[in-house]
Amino acid sequence: MSIQLHQVTVTLKKRSILRNVSLSFCSPLTYILGLNGSGKTTLLRTITGEVAFKGRVLIEDKDGRHMNEHERALKLAVVSQRVNLPFQLNVLEFVLMGRYAKLDWWRSYGASDRKRVEEELERMGILGLKGREMNEISGGELQKVLLARALAQDTPWLLLDEPGQQLDPKSRKNLYQMLTDLSQEGKKIICSTHDREAVEAGNNRIIGMKDGEVVYSRENENDWETVWQALYA
């Protein structure tokens, strides 16, 4: 089970964002690091079909260009930096949206869907927020709600774009330990980040990017100073 990019190039407004990137994601947990503008977010958005590209993207051997929205939602759960929030919903209703791809055309959300949602809200430590309106929660709480929705989607792949950016230090550490645990339980995770806690959690693959190209790749890297010197110094 893998996601593969073959000679992928992305050009936006005449600027090359990704340059002939070829990668195979098959490790349980991959972190993508690099300076702002290095191409991390664009790489994820290429996998999710949000940007036009040259080259080829295969999601579990299926050409990404030929996958419709429903097929993607069964394979990929995404936590993006760009979120359109339906503020008229409460937290429980919002997280239930993650179950949409699992519904048959004749069925609405049922007790089993609500149970799955409450399990993920509890995992994130925010079950007590389930009745709160989306416009009443903090940025850190929102990030946890987004993670809960993605996990409730029950997909083999979880794609995260800087999920620790709104979290306090303790919550960030807990987040990356949770991702390590999920990867050991069988979830495949690709996560862009700047966070030291991600690297130091270990049991990962580190991909480093500069100027739209992959310049660093190492398995089981947990030495932040080595990563820092390679990508940020």
Mean pLDDT of 50-70: 93
Whether pLDDT at 146 is above 70:
yes
Whether pLDDT at 203 is above 90:
no
Q: What is the pLDDT of residues 2-28, one digit of tens each?
A: 999 999 999 988 889 999 999 999 999
Give the integer Cα–Cα distance in Å for 233 and 229: 5
Whether pLDDT at 132 is above 90:
yes
Does the predicted TM-score (pTM) go above 0.85? yes
Q: What is the pLDDT of residues 82-96, one digit of tens each?
A: 777 766 889 999 999
Q: For position 87, what pLDDT does the model report? A: 67
pLDDT classification of 40: cutoffs 50, 70, 90: very high
Give the integer Cα–Cα distance in Å for 7 and 124: 37
Using DSSP's 3-state secondary structure scheme, residue 41 falls into helix
Whether pLDDT at 104 is above 70:
no
CA of residue 211 relative to chain centroid, distance: 21
- Report the sign of the C-alpha dihedral through residues 209, 212, 215, 219, in that order: positive
Q: For position 107, what pLDDT does the model report? A: 66
Q: What is the pLDDT of residues 166-200, one digit of tens each?
A: 889 999 999 999 999 999 999 999 999 999 999 99
Percent of the chain with pLDDT over 90: 76
